[in-house]
Amino acid sequence: MNFIKRLLLDCNPSRNITSSYTNTQIDHVRTQRSQYAQIAEDYRRRRAADPGEGPSTAAAPTQDQDEALAAAAQAEEDEKKTKKRKRKEEDAIDEIKKAKKAKGGKAAEKKEKAIAKKKAKKTNPDLDDSDDEDYDIDYKKAKPAPGQFEHCESCNKRFTVTPYSKEGPDGGLVCTPCGKEMTKDLKKEQKALQPKAAAGKRRRKVESEKLDGVSTGGAKSLVQLCLQRVAQHHDDVEELGDLPPKLLERLSEIFSKKRVMKPKTLPLFLRPDLDSVVVHDAAYLEEEDYLQMFSVVPNMKKLVLSNTCQLKDKSMDYMLERCHELRHIALYAANLVSEEMWHRLFQEAGAKLEVIKLKWLDAAFEDEAVHDMVQCCPNLERLKLKLCRRIGQDSIDSIAELPALKHLTLHIGREVSNDALINLIEKRGSLLETLSLEKFLDADDAVVEAIHDNCNRLSKLRLSENDTITDAGFTALFTNWPNPPLTFADFNSTRDVDNNNPTGPEEAVGLASSGFAALMAHSGPSLKHLDIASCRFIELSAFCDVFNGAQSYPALEYINISFCNKVDTSVVAGIFKSCPKLKSLVAFGCFDVDNVVVPRSIALVGVPRAQDAIEQFGIGVDVDEAVGRMVEVGA
Amino acid sequence: MRDVKAGSSEYITLVSNDGFEFKIQRSSACISGMIKRMLDPNGGFSESTTNVCKFSEINGIVLEKVCEYFYYNEKHKDSRDVPDMDFPPELCLELLMAADFLDT
């Protein structure tokens, strides 16, 4: 017989003797009854949760009370072990589901609910919604008081109710560990909903776009908006139609920047009628992509591949076979191309080549290759050799023999004697329109003198990262120089570097006050781009003299005065006044500049707290108003 | 603040290749460099007198978005943190070509 029935019989042998039982006795019976009821419920729940397990518990109802308790306890123990494994699995699956839910959203949730319903129907065929709905009355259990036992809503485990027990989603109580998990989940959700990072991110985005030159306030151009959209949806774009080549190049730049220039998107930019292929980030492209490139666009005249790490001999070979019209080659980081292939390139395609730009070649490309190049490329007008580790002074001597050279950029790591440089300048100087010598640390005043004496067509001059040329040398360069005014002047990092002497030597080294003044006096009228970053020995007085507001530099669009720490706000105000066409002013590390009010179309980069002034005065200020306000604030 | 020059109207008409006409303010339309040049009285184009610009390569839907862009640009000319204008991605490429043509 069922022991509960027996118990009830015990408690209630005959109905007419209830009064003979005292209250305490009745209470005692009640608690016993509830305990047994708990145990029975426990057992029932466990059976419901694991239908397939625990054959031993099937025998429980037919045993005695005590035996039943013991058996129940034993069964619990057994089930615990298998349950633990199961629970761990369930937990893992739950986590995955949660993560998926967070990504999936409403549609996924609906799906899950439908699946859950189906599953429930499968395991319990009695659960038929249509029938039960009419008869379903929500029976709510009274909340048990603290101290009593209750079953956790989520994990079905029995636990003692405390005043701190949390409520589950369906109204019942949950045990402590489940309660902890619930609060953790809630916190996560709240964090996800918070827009706290939005403000900081927006500011970063605005500054980043300013640095890229995309926008200086106000709305972006429609072309820019569209390009961004296309890049955003790059997966869905199937073909780019009839975009003009200029837009195509801009689009390829954006794709490269977002690192989505991959084998899948490359074909968008390859059309048989194009005459140039420009890929600024070819890191994801493999051999087949290069072969495709050369086969689809055989008439290419201009080939620009940056980060072409996977360009190998086979692709180069195919290129030489297919593309006979090459005039412009720019290959950056093509380190898998062998030495012989470089020789072959110059020998076979050299006759038509007009522009060669090679950067970051570490493994091959020796002086002999440069020699070959000079021999085979008589029409070479533009040459850029930067960071090619294996070439040295001999290359300079070879380059000096190039007959048509107009634009030369060199950045050579190995030692180059000043005589070699002077020789180069003397031989080629008269035709040169661009001369850029970066990081020739030992170049001295004699080199600059050679430039003065031999170059009279220069429009772009860069002499950067040097600590030997003196200020006097620079001044001599720009004084009485028959060369017409430069359009591009870059003398960044020309200064004395000596930690023991922070104020610099007596005789100024690098571009300093008098050199700067001479430069601006010579090239002021047509200078477009000025870079004097890190020329920290230029005095404040020199800056004020040059940018005094009265003197106008009509073409100047970009100025970089980073780390010239003598600059202060009045200089910046003067710059705004003197340069009507200014678009961008870069001033990192100029700590005396503050309270700057930036006029409408100018991007000021690198000045901390410039935003404060913008917040004060708004962004749509004219130059005069801005300068006026700055003077006010300064005074 | 209306500054109406003698002889120039405040509103001009843009006509797409499928016959849609859009009347928009002159100031917004001149955000496009091309339209500005077309309407410039010193340029000598007939559009400066008729105040109507016909575009035979741009269709109505794209031209409508372009007009929307003009007003969006003018509205946000002096503010920062401008939210990007929203437009359907399917329209993107045609809008890009129109934007390039109109120099805007």
Structural domains of chain B sorted by starting position, each given as residue range(s) with its CATH number in brackets: 2-102 (3.30.710.10)
Per residue in A168-215, pLDDT (tens digit) is 887 788 888 888 888 898 888 888 777 656 666 777 777 777 777 666
- What does the longest C-alpha to C-alpha distance in chain A come to? 132
pLDDT above 50 for A516: yes
Mean of per-residue pLDDT scores for chain B: 83
CB B81 to CB A206 under 8 A? yes
Report the C-alpha gap between A378 and A350 in whole angstroms.
8
A502's CB contacts (< 8 A; 6+ apart) are: none
Give the CA angle between residues A613, B31, B70 to the nearest 5°.
90
Q: Which residue has the tokens 């005789």?
A: A507
For residue A21, the model assigns a pLDDT of 59
Q: Does A244 touch chain B (CB under 8 A)?
A: yes
pLDDT above 70 for A480: yes
Confidence of residue A155 (pLDDT cuts 50, 70, 90): confident
* B97: nearest CA partner in chain A: A243
Q: Which residues of A touch B78 (CB under 8 A)?
A: 217-218, 600, 618-620
Report the C-alpha gap between B79 and A244 in whole angstroms.
32
For residue A452, the model assigns a pLDDT of 94
CB B84 to CB A614 under 8 A? no
Q: Does B80 touch chain A (CB under 8 A)?
A: yes
CB A218 to CB B73 under 8 A? yes
Lowest model confidence (mean pLDDT) among A90-94, A425-429, A448-452: A90-94
Q: Does B69 touch chain A (CB under 8 A)?
A: yes
pLDDT above 70 for A105: no
SS3 A359: strand
CB B78 to CB A202 under 8 A? no
Ranges of H-type helices in A439-598: 445-454, 471-478, 513-523, 540-546, 569-578
Are A316 and A341 in contact by the 8 Å Cβ rule? The answer is: yes
Does the CA dihedral A54-A59-A60-A66 come out positive or negative? negative
pLDDT above 50 for A549: yes
Q: Does A221 touch chain B (CB under 8 A)?
A: yes
- What does the longest C-alpha to C-alpha distance in chain B come to? 42
Tokens of B34: 């091309």
Lowest model confidence (mean pLDDT) among A44-48, A230-234, B53-57: A44-48
Burial A50-69 (b: 16+ CB within 10 A, else e): eeebbeebeebeeeeeeebe
CB A619 to CB B80 under 8 A? yes
Of A237, A246, A619, the CB nearest to B78: A619
Nearest chain B CA: its distance from A190 CA (Å)? 25
SS3 A23: helix
User: Which of B66, B74, B85, B100 should we substitute to test contact with A (largest number of A Cβ atoms within 10 Å)?
Assistant: B100
Report the C-alpha gap between A3 and A240 in whole angstroms.
81
- DSSP string of A262-329? -TTTGGGG--TT-SEEEES--TT--HHHHHHHHHH-TT-SEEEESS-TT--HHHHHHHHHH-----EE
* A247: nearest CA partner in chain B: B100
Confidence of residue A459 (pLDDT cuts 50, 70, 90): very high
CB A226 to CB B84 under 8 A? no
Nearest chain B CA: its distance from A268 CA (Å)? 13
Of A218, A230, A618, the CB nearest to B96: A230
State residue A629 phi and psi, 5-degree precision: -60, -40
For residue A244, the model assigns a pLDDT of 85
For residue A458, the model assigns a pLDDT of 94
Please give the share of chain B, as a percent, with pLDDT higher than 70. Answer: 90
For residue A224, the model assigns a pLDDT of 85
For residue A104, the model assigns a pLDDT of 54
For residue A147, the model assigns a pLDDT of 81
CB A223 to CB B100 under 8 A? yes
Of A226, A232, A237, the CB nearest to B99: A226
Q: Quickly count: other Cβ atoms within 10 Å of residue B61's Cβ.
A: 16
Confidence of residue A59 (pLDDT cuts 50, 70, 90): very low
Q: Which residue has the tokens 């035709």?
A: A431
pLDDT above 90 for A242: no
For residue A343, the model assigns a pLDDT of 94
pLDDT above 80 for A133: no
Lowest model confidence (mean pLDDT) among A240-249, A269-278, A483-492, A527-536: A240-249
Stronger pLDDT, A79 or A107, i.e. the higher one: A79
Residue type, position A394, single letter: D
**pTM for the predicted model, two decimal places:** 0.67
CB A218 to CB B89 under 8 A? no
Confidence of residue A16 (pLDDT cuts 50, 70, 90): very low
Q: Which residue has the tokens 């006044």?
A: A577
Which ipTM was obtained for this model?
Answer: 0.89
Residue A407: which of A440, A378, A429 has the closest Cα? A429
Q: Which residues of B touch A204 (CB under 8 A)?
A: none
Question: Mean pLDDT across the stretch A89-109?
Answer: 70
The CA distances from residue A235 to A255, A265, A284, B95, in Å, are 11, 8, 16, 19
Q: Does B10 touch chain A (CB under 8 A)?
A: no
Q: Does B77 touch chain A (CB under 8 A)?
A: yes
Give the CA angle between residues A585, A589, A590 to the nearest 5°.
70
Nearest chain A CA: its distance from B86 CA (Å)? 9
Q: Does B57 touch chain A (CB under 8 A)?
A: no
For residue A168, the model assigns a pLDDT of 81
Distance of CA A41 to the CA centre of its chain: 58
Per residue in B72-103, pLDDT (tens digit) is 888 887 776 677 888 888 888 889 889 988 88
Per residue in A388-435, pLDDT (tens digit) is 999 989 999 999 999 999 999 999 988 899 999 999 999 999 999 999
CB A619 to CB B96 under 8 A? no
Cα atoms in the 13 Å half-sphere on the side-chain side of A372: 18
The CA distances from residue A65 to A29, A61, A544, in Å, are 15, 9, 102
For residue A425, the model assigns a pLDDT of 94
Using only C-alpha atoms, what is the Rg of chain B? 14
Question: Mean pLDDT across the stretch A267-280?
Answer: 90
Tokens of A369: 């290759």
CB B77 to CB A228 under 8 A? no
Q: Does B55 touch chain A (CB under 8 A)?
A: no
Question: Mean pLDDT across the stretch A557-576?
Answer: 90
Q: Does A214 touch chain B (CB under 8 A)?
A: no
Q: Does B30 touch chain A (CB under 8 A)?
A: no
* A246: nearest CA partner in chain B: B100
pLDDT above 50 for B5: no
Of A222, A229, A241, the CB nearest to B104: A222
CB B77 to CB A219 under 8 A? yes
Of B78, B81, B95, the CB nearest to A226: B95
For residue A517, the model assigns a pLDDT of 93
User: Which of A222, A616, A617 should we substitute to test contact with B (largest number of B Cβ atoms within 10 Å)?
Assistant: A222
pLDDT above 80 for A134: no
Contacts 24+ apart (CB under 8 A), A97-102: A98/A185, A102/A192
Report the C-alpha gap between A515 and A535 in whole angstroms.
11
Stated length of chain B: 104
Q: Does A13 touch chain B (CB under 8 A)?
A: no
CB B92 to CB A229 under 8 A? yes
Stronger pLDDT, A457 or A617, i.e. the higher one: A457
Q: Which residue has the tokens 């699956």?
A: A93
For residue B4, the model assigns a pLDDT of 44
For residue A81, the model assigns a pLDDT of 61
Per residue in A284-337, pLDDT (tens digit) is 999 999 999 999 999 999 999 999 999 999 999 999 999 999 999 999 999 999
Lowest model confidence (mean pLDDT) among A117-126, A221-230, A385-394: A117-126
Nearest chain B CA: its distance from A590 CA (Å)? 24
Question: Mean pLDDT across the stretch A595-618?
Answer: 69
Residue A591: which of A627, A530, A540, A557 has the closest Cα? A540
pLDDT above 50 for A570: yes
Q: Which residues of A touch B77 (CB under 8 A)?
A: 218-219, 620
CB A247 to CB B95 under 8 A? no
